[in-house]
Structure 1
């Protein structure tokens, strides 16, 4: 992506006139459009832009084709992942998950100028900022989870959709995923780590951040002490260059990028995530307070900057689809937006790296999977568990009474797989055999274990390939105490298959899972509420001046 031109597109020829406004009803009817041009115009509200800047989209009167040409598009998923969408709730609503990736790409003069690293210009970009935006099924709350860039996770096998280059699965820090198949590989990494189906991704680079900050007109931030993030010794590299006195300041352009990139002065990657969350909350409040529709020129500045700054997964790569997405996102009030950082612990293999913090990390992912709000201002229970996936592994939940009843237990063929390995814990040896033996003792004579290497799956699931085996799968699940919501039709199996996940590491009866409650986040998730205007960053002492 190139640096966004934040100047408004002032000249508008008669060949492409504005169409009817959309949004909050302030639009004006246009005159006749010349035949054959067909340029559709969309009206975007400021609140739409506010939330999509978590994923940065545009606002204003937009020439449809012009806007579409601005947006860089790519494959949604370029890795080996099998996450499945959440089953609709009683009202037929499903959550929406968007992965926002901040790239450190130096692939343009603008990015080199902003980020340095001229000698690294040809290196593949790293995803130094990664955050999942979860919009609840009822569209009344939003949760954001950041993962520090140095967190070590399993990255699946990925294929670069642009070059066709294949990358084997590996275990390394998460920011490397972007260089191993693009944003689609980062998405697959998140799906495997969390068990959450990610609907879309959005990317932005250094130049895009600067353009958006300029177009917004500045975002207020705060420090408790004077800060100067710079190398402390002559030979030490690094430092964003951020320099400001204690107190509140409005940052834009390059200074906004410095704020978002600062790490040394805050003391850690986790504190950098907090500073980013403060910025994003402040930005959302700023845009909600602004009436951008009164200034058409500024409206166009926002539209140009946003669309030129974006890379998006191709299924939302048109103005119409982004508009439809925005109409869903704009309804969340600021006091129902919660920003968090994934709970982590030090990596025993490398003190500079982190690992997901076991049960605390899983609790965060369970809240998202079950659509439980991060704040306690809404309902205390969430969605209805996992549902359908797309693409290669089409999975749907087994609900109701199957048309074909189960066969006799002794006649049901069952394969048991060991998927107890997780990013923080190794596999439990022999789990497939233990569960297969337990099934045999219950009369399932055809139960066998899969002898291949241990897989990784957060939650235990029973899969079946075709409708005629739904009854058999449900019967097997019931015999092991696995809930019906974990029984799914899948194109990835040839028969009834029990996948023993990392949530079932011992015993022969599936343990009852505690349903998380709204607002019950782990203490080390560093939660920030979007309406909190009193947040201010502490500066690590060596970087005070």
Structure 2
């Protein structure tokens, strides 16, 4: 009887991942197997690179040499809707960095590491995608993985190198990298989350294993002896073979740990193992004297800059140094690794879609700069008047832009209550339009063009002079100002009534999330927690 990988007991959202049904796809010749190697190791190397560059003490000439190693690209190559988070009372803003692991085989080194020579000229896939959110006060960091098989809306993107324009599409998120580069992946993330992303960094296979070796080993843990190998009816396997308990892995064995999927039971459990590895790596680097070993540090910096491609605004070692210095200050107990809450895609059992409520809760925390951990100091009553005004307005920035009189503000109202699971609420745009007209917005009209699917209610405006008008509309309905954004897709103030507001004429009161209020489905692991230990799926025990 053919062996199939089973999903994790008690874990949400795993049934729709390629990992849960990956065995069948592997046997049918999917690129999944050949492209699985090193995805999170590539991300680990990227993270390591930031830490290394943030502590490098080499001289000017060596910095110039490292600068020559770096490749750069356009920050955003797609149609994005996100806006920067407003500064806090101290004038600080959060920092968001998108880390992408590319499976590109555009070189002999990458083919040797990743295999699959037949796919050498295929568009690269962004099979590992993680967002690092560094809080405005630089005291906490939240990390979110979006599974590679998450079906999302990918916006229209233009490849900055070839000039080719790719039309908007609905597909799995790892395809975005091949539709305009990392800048398209960044735009896709911004539209998915509503979070403005400052920078991206990508890394491919080359140079990764040597960087893992340079760390000197990272401690991992398994509950039983594990051997991830081909079995009858189940091809593939990373080759990982470890005895139960805690032990260090490095080099090829580290690569095997990060590749392993079948022995854990699912793709999402592989993400958990990868998060455990990254947390352990961070703890290891903080404990080591690597940063006082000049020769070792230079070798790591050489490998890092030679393997990285970064968005152009951080395309120098000095800028990466500054970035690394900010990341270096975060204590391990203020680092939280998570996976986007997800459920099986109703259109394809091998794909997933965001678990609407839980995922939006996490996105809101990122947009509002709320820590994923609850280990920080309590702020007490230190809010500035602008913060208090923002709370009155439902969160986000205070409404400070001037607006026209209500009767002069033209507003178009659209019905966005349709979801993958539910039909649009009939007449929703008309009902909210009547509410606006009754409140004095006599130029409000309902859009007759039909419904669309939008998870979050938003008020959009096309140009700066209409910002105050859009804020005024939002305030009158109780919509938080964090849901007001500038967009090139609208010609005037536009209200889209999302699926979060399917009934009633007053926007549902949203409880502001508190530090640590991440949903259980995020499978969070704190950076200081060294207790997690992977359970091995029975057929892969020895």
Task: State the TM-score, normalized to the length of structure 1.
Answer: 0.82
From 403, 406, 411, the counterpart of 2:404? 406
**1:184, distance to aligned residue in structure 2 (A):** 1.2
Quote the residue 2:440 is aligned against: 443
SS state at 2:136 partner: coil
Q: Distance in 1 between matches of 2:112 and 2:214?
A: 19
**1:493, distance to aligned residue in structure 2 (A):** 4.3
Q: Which moved more, 1:446-455 or 1:342-351?
A: 446-455
Which structure 2 residues correspond to residues 286-365 of structure 1 after superposition, within 5 A? 286-365=284-363
Quote the residue 1:233 is aligned against: 232
1:476 equivalent in alignment to 2:463? no
SS state at 2:160 partner: coil
Residue 542 to residue 216, structure 1, CA distance change in 2 (3 Å): same
Q: Distance in 2 between matches of 1:531 and 1:447?
A: 52
Q: Distance in 2 between matches of 1:162 and 1:453?
A: 37
SS state at 1:101 partner: strand
1:263 equivalent in alignment to 2:261? yes
Residue 293 to residue 153, structure 1, CA distance change in 2 (3 Å): closer
**1:460, distance to aligned residue in structure 2 (A):** 3.0
**1:108, distance to aligned residue in structure 2 (A):** 1.9
SS state at 1:206 partner: coil
**1:425, distance to aligned residue in structure 2 (A):** 6.5
Residue 112 to residue 288, structure 1, CA distance change in 2 (3 Å): same
Quote the residue 1:514 is aligned against: 511
Quote the residue 2:63 is aligned against: 64
Quote the residue 2:494 is aligned against: 497
Ranges in structure 1 where 5+ consecutive residues have no aligned partner: 1-48, 388-395
Which structure 2 residues correspond to residues 58-457 of structure 1 after superposition, within 5 A? 58=53, 59-60=55-56, 61=58, 63-233=62-232, 236-379=234-377, 399-400=399-400, 402=402, 406-407=404-405, 409-420=406-417, 428=425, 430-452=427-449, 454=451
1:201-257, CA deviations, whole angstroms, 9 ceiling, x for partnerless residues? 1112222431321222222212122222222237x5432222222222322222212
**1:326, distance to aligned residue in structure 2 (A):** 1.3
Q: Distance in 2 between matches of 1:401 and 1:164?
A: 38
**1:133, distance to aligned residue in structure 2 (A):** 0.7
Q: Distance in 2 between matches of 1:329 and 1:436?
A: 46
Residue 466 to residue 528, structure 1, CA distance change in 2 (3 Å): closer
Residue 71 to residue 56, structure 1, CA distance change in 2 (3 Å): farther
Q: Which moved more, 1:169-178 or 1:436-445?
A: 436-445
Residue 440 to residue 281, structure 1, CA distance change in 2 (3 Å): same
Q: Distance in 2 between matches of 1:380 and 1:352?
A: 43
8 Å Cα contact 1:212-1:309 kept in structure 2: no
Q: Distance in 2 between matches of 1:156 and 1:189?
A: 6
Residue 483 to residue 245, structure 1, CA distance change in 2 (3 Å): closer
Q: Distance in 1 between matches of 2:344 and 2:461?
A: 39
Residue 154 to residue 466, structure 1, CA distance change in 2 (3 Å): closer
8 Å Cα contact 2:50-2:320 kept in structure 1: no
8 Å Cα contact 2:140-2:330 kept in structure 1: yes
8 Å Cα contact 1:223-1:248 kept in structure 2: yes
Q: Which moved more, 1:220-229 or 1:128-137?
A: 220-229
Q: Distance in 2 between matches of 1:508 and 1:239?
A: 55
**1:199, distance to aligned residue in structure 2 (A):** 1.0
Quote the residue 1:544 is aligned against: 541
**1:420, distance to aligned residue in structure 2 (A):** 4.2
Residue 406 to residue 307, structure 1, CA distance change in 2 (3 Å): same
1:131-178, CA deviations, whole angstroms, 9 ceiling, x for partnerless residues? 111111111111111122122222222222222222222222222221
**1:95, distance to aligned residue in structure 2 (A):** 0.8
Residue 51 to residue 156, structure 1, CA distance change in 2 (3 Å): closer
From 44, 48, 53, the counterpart of 2:48? 53
SS state at 1:172 partner: strand
Residue 418 to residue 379, structure 1, CA distance change in 2 (3 Å): farther
Q: Which moved more, 1:370-379 or 1:415-424?
A: 415-424
SS state at 1:53 partner: helix
Residue 120 to residue 484, structure 1, CA distance change in 2 (3 Å): closer
SS state at 1:277 partner: helix
Task: State the TM-score, normalized to the length of structure 2.
Answer: 0.82
1:310-358, CA deviations, whole angstroms, 9 ceiling, x for partnerless residues? 1111111111111111121111011111111111122233222222112
